[in-house]
């Protein structure tokens, strides 16, 4: 099926993602921030769908929005919110922050102006119907070694967490 | 316009992949109506079946055998006062039931009621269903936190811990079923819900019987995890009445509460339909191999109509046994009318063209209904788990079992 109203959905989803991202840092209540972050992540998932990457979108929803954010909320609910509401929301580090923002903005402007030369002329259209299979071929075929190393790193992190949490094993 | 509508009828795909918005909309409305009716029916059936299991009568007052009880309940909930606690967080309190309901209904766009009877067929079907239904826990957590009260918060914490733990076991069981799809003749696996049933069709086996007993164990893991995921007895810790009054929805009343109720039952139907699609052959009729052939196809295609005729006959029998007092005249007439509707549906299902198009949907719904009956049966039989026992079952029993089944399925797939 041919895509419908692509431009509208792109701008709508991008606006949703960016606005929720801004809400994450401006809300005083940490639970509201976490909910805004979930909206932002869901907007990202929809953008992945628009890029013909349904598998990445599904994984984004199931892992970030459904898994990790639930643990976030779980922790935030156990924190004393009255106390955190009285504390300062922002650190007084505007000088460093400004420098970082300017650097990132300059990078964006540079890419926007020079953009054509940096990317290949033709974008590869991934066929939507076999996206998952192609991801599998890349992960378990071409980049098998890197994939296994990443999973080993995660295993080390899991064991480390258990060792830190338990006094006697 | 008319061409646009009729052009879909000739194609043999889902409205989503044919790109026909009109028929997609029709399917969405039909599924929404069907789900609402199913939830109402489940409400009545659960109370009646539980009552009979406990040697009680159950609802008997509104309508013959309490048939109109769910409608009376719905009316009561709609006109009840809607209370919001004074210290609650209004926006989160307001949006939480909506999140739960929307996630519970959204998953149904990929449920395959037949080879062409689904709103759309996604490349990531199962992943989409698991992902979106895992979002419903967010609504539960939001409801529990926004109420600003202790019991709901405890319920929400329990619910999030429980759902995150059982999702892992559930995912492993699903992966072992998806692995089985890659072992058909074409050699490519699929996550699409329709593709999974077609793989079972191509391999001439329901995945619950494949690599016996591996498929059966994976199905068992999923069946336990799906009860825990939907917060139903014996894993209904988030709403344990004896400890937490009503858990995360203690502070909700009226219409908002009924949204939680609606979401709980449609989530149960959703996970049941995942189980049916992955292991019980989806829309396929029972015994496709042992009782194969033209004659048996004909016999099985007659069953839906005959079952409805049988139900109509039972209803007429009950009508004849209603008390003859003038007070019951309206109820007797209503029951007779209900029986006539059932018999009419039965006759309609016996017409050959209708029969061929509808029997897929019938077998799918029959399998889901069986699974829903099991839910009620569990609730009537098993005592509630303690929270540490629940975590133990999730992490120390189901998770290792899931990993073991996954590895063994992969090995069996390579060997055979």
SS3 letters for B217-255?
HHHHHHHHHHHHHCCCCCCCHHHCHHHHCCHHHCCCCHH
Least confident residue range of A15-24, A113-122, B245-254, B380-389? A113-122
Backbone angles phi, psi at A58, to 5 degrees: -60, -45
* CA gap A19, A36 in Å, rounded: 9
Beta strands in B253-393, from DSSP E residues, in sequence order: none
Searching chain A, which residue's CA lies closest to the CA of residue B133?
A66
Put simply, the answer to whether A1 touches B19 (Cβ < 8 Å) is yes
| Residues from chain B contacting residue A74 (CB–CB below 8 Å) | 141, 157, 160-161
Distance of CA B213 to the CA centre of its chain: 25
Q: What is the pLDDT of residue A102?
A: 94
| Residues from chain B contacting residue A129 (CB–CB below 8 Å) | 123
Q: What would the pLDDT profile of A68-121 be if each residue is shown by its tens digit?
A: 888 888 788 777 666 666 666 666 778 888 999 999 999 989 888 877 776 666
pLDDT (mean) for B302-320: 87
Least confident residue range of A67-81, A102-116, B24-38, B159-173? A67-81
- Residue B129 distance to chain A (closest CA, Å): 9
Pick from B214, B219, B180: nearest CA to B371: B219
Distance of CA B195 to the CA centre of its chain: 20
Identity of the residue in B123, B128, B141 whose CB atom sits nearest the CB atom of A70: B141
Q: What is the pLDDT of residue B209?
A: 81
Q: Which two tokens stand for residue B82?
A: 């809607």
Helix axes B150-181, B214-229, angle to 10 degrees: 160
pTM of this structure: 0.86
Q: What would the pLDDT profile of B113-125 be if each residue is shown by its tens digit?
A: 888 888 888 888 8
Report long-range pairs for B319-326 (Cβ below 8 Å, ≥24 apart). B322/B64
pLDDT over 70 at B303, yes or no: yes
- Residue A80 distance to chain B (closest CA, Å): 13
Query: What is the percentage of chain B residues whose pLDDT exceeds 90?
Result: 7
- Residue A143 distance to chain B (closest CA, Å): 20
**Which of the listed ranges A27-31, A54-58, A129-133, B266-270 does the model predict with the highest average pLDDT?**
B266-270
Q: What is the pLDDT of residue A103?
A: 94
The answer for residues whose C-beta is within 8 angstroms of residue A134's C-beta and 6 or more apart is: A126
Q: What is the pLDDT of residue B222?
A: 92
pLDDT (mean) for B53-69: 85
* CA gap B131, A47 in Å, rounded: 16
* CA gap A26, A28 in Å, rounded: 6
Pick from B371, B279, B369, B361: nearest CA to B115: B361
Quick check: A23 contacting B, CB < 8 Å? no
Torsion B213-B214-B215-B220 (CA) sign? positive
Searching chain A, which residue's CA lies closest to the CA of residue B195?
A129
Distance of CA B204 to the CA centre of its chain: 25
Q: Which two tokens stand for residue B367?
A: 């399998």
Put simply, the answer to whether A35 touches B92 (Cβ < 8 Å) is yes
DSSP letter at A96 equals H
| Residues from chain A contacting residue B145 (CB–CB below 8 Å) | 31, 73, 77
Which residue of B128, B137, B138 to mutate against A (max A Cβ within 10 Å)?
B138
* CA gap B158, B173 in Å, rounded: 23
Say what the ipTM of the complex is. Answer: 0.79
Least confident residue range of B239-248, B325-334, B385-394? B239-248
Total length of chain A: 169
Quick check: A31 contacting B, CB < 8 Å? yes
Backbone angles phi, psi at B49, to 5 degrees: -65, -45
Q: What is the pLDDT of residue B404?
A: 92
Identity of the residue in B130, B131, B145 whose CB atom sits nearest the CB atom of A31: B145
| Residues from chain A contacting residue B142 (CB–CB below 8 Å) | 35, 73
Distance of CA B133 to the CA centre of its chain: 12
Torsion A156-A162-A167-A168 (CA) sign? negative
Least confident residue range of B13-17, B51-55, B181-185, B291-295? B181-185
Query: What is the percentage of chain B residues whose pLDDT exceeds 70?
Result: 98
Q: What mean pLDDT, rounded, does chain B reach?
A: 84
| Residue pair B385/B235 in contact by the 8 Å Cβ criterion | yes
* CA gap B308, B119 in Å, rounded: 26
Searching chain A, which residue's CA lies closest to the CA of residue B95?
A35
Distance of CA B51 to the CA centre of its chain: 22
Pick from B232, B220, B230: nearest CA to B50: B232
Concatenate the DSSP letters of all residues of A89-143 into one string.
SS-S-HHHHHHHHHHHHHHHHHHHHHHHHHS-SS-----GGGHHHHHHHIIIIIT
Angle at the Cα of B181 from the Cα atoms of B176 and B186, rounded to 5 degrees? 150
Put simply, the answer to whether B167 touches A132 (Cβ < 8 Å) is no
């Amino acid at each position: 099926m041919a895509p419908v109203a692509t431009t509208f959905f792109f701008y709508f989803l991008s606006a949703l993602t960016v606005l929720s991202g801004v809400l994450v840092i401006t809300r005083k209540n940490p639970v509201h921030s976490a909910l805004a972050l979930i909206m932002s992540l869901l907007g990202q998932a929809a953008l992945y769908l628009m890029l013909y990457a349904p598998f990445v979108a599904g994984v984004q929803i199931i892992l970030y929005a459904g898994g990790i954010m639930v643990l976030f909320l779980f922790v935030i609910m156990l924190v004393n919110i009255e106390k955190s509401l009285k504390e300062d929301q922002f650190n007084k580090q505007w000088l460093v922050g400004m420098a970082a923002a300017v650097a990132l903005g300059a990078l964006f402007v540079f890419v926007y102006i020079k953009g054509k030369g940096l990317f290949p002329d033709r974008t590869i259209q991934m066929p939507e119907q076999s996206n998952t299979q192609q991801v599998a071929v890349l992960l378990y075929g071409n980049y098998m070694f890197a994939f296994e190393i990443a999973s080993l790193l995660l295993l080390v992190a899991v064991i480390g967490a258990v060792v830190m949490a338990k006094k006697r094993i | 316009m008319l061409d646009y509508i009729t052009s879909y009828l000739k194609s043999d795909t889902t409205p989503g992949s044919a790109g026909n918005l009109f028929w997609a909309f029709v399917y969405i409305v039909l599924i929404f109506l069907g789900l609402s009716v199913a939830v109402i029916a489940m409400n009545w059936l659960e109370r009646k079946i539980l009552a009979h299991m406990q040697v009680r009568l159950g609802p008997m007052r509104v309508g013959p055998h309490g048939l109109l009880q769910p409608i009376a309940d719905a009316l009561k909930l709609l006109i009840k006062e809607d209370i919001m606690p004074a210290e609650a967080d209004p926006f989160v309190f307001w949006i939480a039931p909506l999140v739960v309901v929307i996630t519970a209904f959204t998953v149904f766009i990929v449920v395959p009621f037949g080879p062409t009877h689904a709103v759309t067929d996604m490349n990531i079907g199962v992943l989409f269903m698991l992902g979106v239904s895992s979002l419903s826990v967010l609504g539960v957590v939001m409801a529990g936190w926004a109420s600003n009260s202790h019991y709901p918060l405890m319920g929400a914490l329990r619910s999030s811990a429980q759902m995150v733990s059982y999702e892992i076991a559930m995912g492993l069981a699903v992966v072992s079923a998806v692995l089985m799809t890659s072992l058909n003749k074409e050699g490519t696996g699929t996550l699409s819900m329709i593709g999974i049933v077609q793989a079972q069709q191509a391999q001439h086996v329901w995945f619950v019987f494949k690599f016996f007993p591996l498929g059966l164990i994976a199905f068992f893991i999923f069946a336990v995890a799906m009860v825990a995921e939907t917060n139903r007895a014996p894993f209904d810790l988030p709403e344990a009445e004896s400890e937490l009054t009503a858990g995360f929805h203690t502070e909700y009343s009226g219409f908002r509460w009924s949204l939680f109720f609606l979401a709980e039952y449609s989530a149960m139907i959703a996970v049941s339909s995942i189980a049916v699609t992955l292991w019980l052959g989806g829309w396929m009729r029972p015994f496709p191999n042992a009782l194969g052939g033209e004659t048996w196809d004909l016999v099985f295609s007659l069953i839906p109509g005959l079952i409805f005729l049988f139900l109509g006959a039972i209803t007429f029998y009950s009508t004849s046994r209603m008390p003859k007092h003038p007070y019951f005249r309206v109820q007797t007439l209503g029951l007779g009318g209900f029986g006539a509707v059932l018999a009419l549906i039965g006759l309609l299902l016996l017409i050959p063209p209708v029969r061929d198009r509808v029997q897929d949907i019938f077998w799918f719904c029959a399998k889901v209904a069986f699974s829903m009956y099991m839910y009620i049966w569990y609730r009537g039989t098993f005592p509630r788990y303690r929270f540490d026992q629940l975590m133990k079952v999730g992490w120390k029993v189901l998770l290792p079992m899931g990993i073991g089944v996954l590895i063994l399925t992969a090995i069996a797939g390579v060997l055979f």
